[in-house]
Structure formats: structure tokens, C-alpha cells
Chains A and B, each alone.
Chain A
Amino acid sequence: MTVVARRIASSIVMLFAVSVLSFGVLELAPGDFFIEMQIDAHVGSQTVEGLRTQYGLTQSPVVRYVQWLRSFVQGDLGFSLAHRAPVSTVIWTRAANTLLLTVPAMLVTWCLALPLGIWIARHRNRWVDRICGGVTSTLVALPDLLVALLLLLLALRTGLFPTGGMFSPDANELSVGSRLLDLGRHAFLPLCALIATTLPAVVRHVRASVIEAAEAPAVQAARAYGIARTRITSRYVLPLAANPLVSLAGLSIATLLSTSLLIEVVMSWPGLGPLLVEALLAKDVHVVLSASMLASALLVIGNLAADLALYAVDPRIRV
């Protein structure tokens, strides 16, 4: 229990540090939302100064950070100047949409990667291994951007799947079942892109860890006893390979979140990605801050879950 408590405490410290880092970085930025407004010639400098005082932008950074942190802890994420609404009303639906992509993508990736990696590891140095090795290393080198664009091109050319958005324009009139179906059809393309970009690296890692585990003395002994191959895989190899794989699962959340950001923008999925890009271009500080905090929180929670899972599956680290 103390281990869990200690890990949670260090995660909170980490999130606090991330908030200082993000806030500091944004504070270095010359200009703010209202100064960007001056591109419009009708907005005079007096108006801008008035608005800046009204929204408290003239106070010192430390004061603003403390104010921001206090309200952030209470669940108030600040005010989006561009959307003219509290950040929380904007960001939660967007974050949910991002999770709607990343969680299924992660599940599917691992459900495919585990059996595939084990199968390739079993045919080590044979033609299956060579072909899969070539295919996965090519896919790893393909930029995520290109994969997303090519899938989008395919969808536009064939018309098999709708592109852009989450629902068809007439979705509000549909029944619940067909609305879900509509959502699924819209999510299919970004999901494919996410899986295609994350799967190859994961398969390669699974293969490598399984091969390493299969050479362990305990596994060789089990093989010498004549224990069935499937039992060796499930009872001996997988528990040994679990340690690096669970850590990898935690780490892969970071890549998944970054990739998802890009794919959402390319495929116009209304997640955190497009929101963040718009906020950046408008210098909408609170939105940028909340979005990067949220992403870091997701990452930290993912790593925490991975560590705790590791603690559960690997008795060696419990001592």
C-alpha cells in the first residue's frame, strides 16, 4: 500500500512541476490574446489596455500562477478568451472525444500485437519473421502524417467511409442505435490511422521480449521436461516478458496522445488536437495550458497504472 501511496504522491508532484513548466514557458511568450487582437486596425491600444486590466493580465506572473493553480485545483480551468466561455465547457467534450479514439486504439493495438508478436517470435529467423520484420520496419519509418493523409485519400477516393467530424449532418434525427453506428463509421478512419502508426513498433517490442524470455533457463528447463508449447508460452514465457511489455504500454500512451493530436487535425476529429492548434494561433493561454495539463495527466495516470500493473504481475519487484 505504501508503494501505491508513494507513486501517487510522486505523480502529483510531477503534475505540479509540469504546470510550472507550462505556465513558465507560456509566460515567456511575447504578446497575449488582446495584443493579437490589434491586427484588426479598429482595435485601439487603449481598448487593449483596458481589456488586459479587466482580465488581470497586467498582474505579475507569480500572482497569476497562484490564482490559476488555486482555481485549477478546485476544478475551474480558467476562461477561454477566444471561445468567450469557461475552458471546462470547451475542453471536457474535446478530451472525451480524444479518449474515444485513443482508448479503443490502444486496446486493439495490444490485442493484435500480442498474438502477432508471439507468432512471429515462434517463427524466428524463418521467412515469416523476415517478411514481418521488413514490413514493420518500413511502417515504423513511415511518418504518421503520411499514413493519415494516405488513409484519408483512400477514403475520399473510394467513398467507403465518411471523412471529417464525428457524426453525419442528420445524425440528430437518428435513433440511438444508428447514431452509435454513425459514430463508429466516422471513427473508423482515425482509428485505423492510429493503430497503423502504433502497431508496428509494439509488434517489434513484443517479438524481442518474447524471444529474450524464451531463452531464459527456466523456460529451457520447462521445454526439456516436455511441457506442451502452449502451456510454456502462457505460463513461462509471458510472465517473464510481462515486465518490459507493461512498461512499454505505459510509455506508448505518450506516443499515442501525440499521434492522436496530429491525426485529429488531419481528419478533422473534434478532439483536443484541433482545439489546441486553434488556441495556439489565438494565444488563448488557458486553453493551451489546460490541454497540455490534461495530456500530461493522462500520461502520468497511464504510467501509474502501468507501474501498479507491473507490481501486480511481477513478483520480483515486490521485494
Chain B
Amino acid sequence: MKRLGLIASVLASLHLLVLLAGFVAPYDPVEQTRTLPFAPPAHLHFVDSRGQFHLRPFVYALVPDSENFESYVEDTTQRFPVQFMVSGSAYNVLPGLESRLHLFGVHAPARVSLLGTDGLGRDVLSRLLHGGRMSIGAGLIATLCALLVGMGLGTLAGFFGGRVDAAVMRLADLFMAVPWLYLLFAVRAALPLHLDTRATFLLLVAVLGIVGWARPARMIRGIVLSARERTFVTAARGFGARAPYLLKRHIVPQTLGVVLTQAGLLVPQYILAEVTLSFLGLGVGEPTPSWGAMLGSLQQYSVLTSYWWMFTPAIALVAVAISYYALTSMVHERMRLAAS
């Protein structure tokens, strides 16, 4: 019980962080600082160069190292204390509602990049948070699409049986006969290559949803098949209940458990699918951040071996996926206990 609450709250706070990306992130995710490519994560200091202690952490401005190519040294002449609730770049809290308030920041010219910067000097933490919005959002909406289609067709097939069942299930077999990544590619090929970000995002989500309907449909069909033979359903039918009433009152509620656990498994899978597509350059493109697009820079061997902070989207991805799987298996376990 306690562990369930813990994991649920971890998951909720991860989503909240990503939702409030504009506020938590210190910088605009597409703002470039060409003088600071691949700057390492900022060091938070408490003791300055003269050995004096400060309660408020501070950073130093980074300047290119004159002796080593592509590395930086801290300019210790001036301290830049980390400040909270500062005004910075504008972002939208909700569409149309603009704000400039950021959780933390430092005065220019210093920059506080807690997870370093990428090849164009963009703040990795800010991109990670904003990219999470893309990736997790795609996962959630695609799951909704797949479950809606899967639930509709699965219930139809299971409830009406006969030819409807045969037709829907053959279609499902067809979708499962193509390896999912190939299918994803084929459907992706049907979309125009060059689109603006919002359109790409929506189309991507639709593609993921369409590709994934077959598996949940098959599971829901199984549940519906056994549900419609339950004695109370037969009784209701005997009392003259029609299909819409039976579906709404007796059949669909029985499938909700499976739908819930399927959702818990599908969300991380779809986040991963978005990441895979964007990693290969077929999903969300530059300059908009998404976890896959960020990881895409690791395809260059030099980036892969030299800058560990470029792996942070993968770490975030694993954290989200593991929390989802853990939550799902616990919910599943509890439902099994409740049922027996």
C-alpha cells in the first residue's frame, strides 16, 4: 500500500515537472548560446576563491579555456548567486497566458546550466523538461487513441461475434503481422516529410495510435466474449435488455480493469516509440526539443563518447518507464487480490 502511494506520487511529480516545464526550466529551450557549445553541467559553489563561505549557492561564468580546445574554465573574479523566482525568457503557461517567472536563474553574463549545454549551447535541463512535454504528451495521447479504437472494435467484435468478429480480428491479425517498427515506418512514410511542429506532433500521435490498436482490441474482445456469457448478462437479456444497455451497464464496466492495465503498459511503449522515431529523424524535428531528437545527437561518436550529460533524456525515459511499469504491476496485483 505504502509503495503504491510512493510510486504514484513519484510518477505524478514527474508529470507535474514536465507540465510546468516553462516555469521550472531556467531558459528558453531553443535559445542558443553559440559561444558555449557542450559546456559541462554548472558547478554550484558555496565557498568562493578567497575561502569565504556563502549560504546562497553561486556559479561562476564559463570562459573558453585558452590552453585546451573545446573546454572551459570558470572565471572566478565575479560570483553569480543563484536566485529564485526570477524574471527571464517568456513562455506560455497555458495557450495565450504568457509569463516570465522562472523558478531559478542567475544574472547574465553567467548561465546556470545544471545539466550542461548541447552542441548549439542550448540548456539541456530546459530542453529536457520541454522535450518531456512532447514525449510524454505523445505517449499519453497515443495511448488514448489506441485504447479508444481498440476498445470500440474489440467490444464490437466480442459482443456481436460472427462475421463482425471475424472481420475485425482478421484486420487485427493483419496489423500484428507486420513488425511494429516496420509498420510505424510505413505509416510514417504516408505523411509529408516537412511539417511544422504542431502538425508533426499530432500526426505522429495519430500514427502511433493507429498502429497500436490491434493488441488491446484482442484482449478486450476476449474479456467481452466471456462477459456476455455471464449469468447476470443472460438474465438481463432475458428481461429484454437491448445491446446498448447491456454494453453500457454490464459489458464495458467489466473491461475497465484490463483497459487500465493496458494503458499503464502502453504509455511507456508509446513514449519509447516517439523517442525511436525522433531519434531516427522521422519524428519531431529541430529546433523543437523531444527526448528522441535530443538523443539523436548521440549518433555522432564524438558526442557519444565525450559528453555524458547528453544521455540525460535516456535516464529520464527509463525513470518514467520503470515507474509506469511498477505502478501497473502493483495495480494489477491489487485488482487480482480484490477479485479473488
Residue ranges of A at the interface with B (Cβ–Cβ < 8 Å): 14, 17-18, 21-22, 25-26, 28-31, 36, 137-138, 140-143, 145-146, 149, 152-153, 156-157, 163, 254-255, 257-259, 261-262, 265-266, 276-277, 280-281, 283, 285, 288, 291-292, 295-296, 299-300
Query: 24 A-B Cβ contacts within 8 A?
Result: A14-B173, A14-B174, A17-B174, A21-B175, A25-B186, A25-B189, A26-B186, A141-B268, A141-B321, A141-B322, A142-B318, A145-B279, A146-B317, A156-B301, A163-B301, A258-B180, A258-B182, A262-B276, A266-B299, A276-B182, A277-B280, A280-B189, A281-B193, A288-B185
Taking a contact as CB atoms closer than 8 A, the residue among B177, B191, B193 that contacts A299 in the complex is B177
Given A36-B193, A277-B282, A292-B186, verify A143-B314 contact (CB < 8 Å). Answer: yes
- Chain B neighbourhood of A21, CB < 8 A: 174-175, 178
Select from chain A the residue with minimum beta-carbon distance to B181. Answer: A258
**Minimum distance in angstroms from A210 CB to a CB of chain B:** 21
List residues 243-276 of chain B with CB under 8 A from any CB of chain A.
Answer: 268, 272, 275-276
- Interface pair A258/B186, CB less than 8 Å apart: no
- Interface pair B298/A149, CB less than 8 Å apart: yes
CA distance A108 to B7 in the complex (A): 36
Taking a contact as CB atoms closer than 8 A, the residue among A156, A257, A285 that contacts B182 in the complex is A257
CA distance A258 to B192 in the complex (A): 23
- Interface pair B174/A18, CB less than 8 Å apart: yes
- Chain A neighbourhood of B298, CB < 8 A: 149
Select from chain B the residue with minimum beta-carbon distance to A280. Answer: B189
**Minimum distance in angstroms from B14 CB to a CB of chain A:** 15
Q: A145-B279, A254-B176, A296-B178 are in contact. List 8 more A-B contacts (CB 8 A).
A: A145-B295, A258-B181, A258-B182, A266-B299, A277-B281, A292-B186, A295-B179, A299-B177
Given A145-B276, A280-B189, verify A261-B301 contact (CB < 8 Å). Answer: no
Q: Does B145 contact A (CB under 8 A)?
A: no
**Minimum distance in angstroms from A6 CB to a CB of chain B:** 15
- Chain A neighbourhood of B182, CB < 8 A: 257-258, 261, 276, 291-292, 295-296
- Interface pair B181/A262, CB less than 8 Å apart: yes
Given A152-B304, A276-B182, verify A143-B318 contact (CB < 8 Å). Answer: yes
Q: Does B190 contact A (CB under 8 A)?
A: yes
- Interface pair A261/B181, CB less than 8 Å apart: yes
- Chain B neighbourhood of A281, CB < 8 A: 193, 281-282
Select from chain A the residue with minimum beta-carbon distance to B301. Answer: A156
**Minimum distance in angstroms from B267 CB to a CB of chain A:** 13
- Chain B neighbourhood of A296, CB < 8 A: 177-179, 182
Q: Does B91 contact A (CB under 8 A)?
A: no
- Interface pair A18/B314, CB less than 8 Å apart: no
- Chain B neighbourhood of A137, CB < 8 A: 325
**Minimum distance in angstroms from A50 CB to a CB of chain B:** 23
- Chain A neighbourhood of B190, CB < 8 A: 25-26, 28-29
CA distance A31 to B193 in the complex (A): 9
List residues 290-340 of chain B with CB under 8 A from any CB of chain A.
Answer: 295, 298-299, 301, 304-305, 311, 314, 317-318, 321-322, 325
Select from chain B the residue with minimum beta-carbon distance to A163. Answer: B301
Q: Does B43 contact A (CB under 8 A)?
A: no
Q: Does B188 contact A (CB under 8 A)?
A: yes
Select from chain A the residue with minimum beta-carbon distance to B183. Answer: A292
CA distance A163 to B299 in the complex (A): 12
Q: Does B187 contact A (CB under 8 A)?
A: yes
**Minimum distance in angstroms from A124 CB to a CB of chain B:** 18
- Interface pair B179/A146, CB less than 8 Å apart: no
- Chain B neighbourhood of A285, CB < 8 A: 189
Select from chain B the residue with minimum beta-carbon distance to A30. Answer: B192
CA distance A59 to B72 in the complex (A): 60
Given A288-B186, A292-B186, verify A258-B179 contact (CB < 8 Å). Answer: yes
Contact with A along B140-176 (1 / 0, CB 8 A): 0000000000000000000000000000001001111
CA distance A17 to B183 in the complex (A): 13
**Minimum distance in angstroms from B319 CB to a CB of chain A:** 10
- Chain A neighbourhood of B318, CB < 8 A: 141-143, 146
- Interface pair B321/A299, CB less than 8 Å apart: no
CA distance A29 to B189 in the complex (A): 7
- Interface pair A138/B179, CB less than 8 Å apart: no
CA distance A153 to B193 in the complex (A): 31
- Chain B neighbourhood of A140, CB < 8 A: 325
**Which of A254, A283, A300: most chain B Cβ within 10 A?**
A254
CA distance A156 to B191 in the complex (A): 36
- Chain B neighbourhood of A30, CB < 8 A: 192
**Minimum distance in angstroms from B67 CB to a CB of chain A:** 24
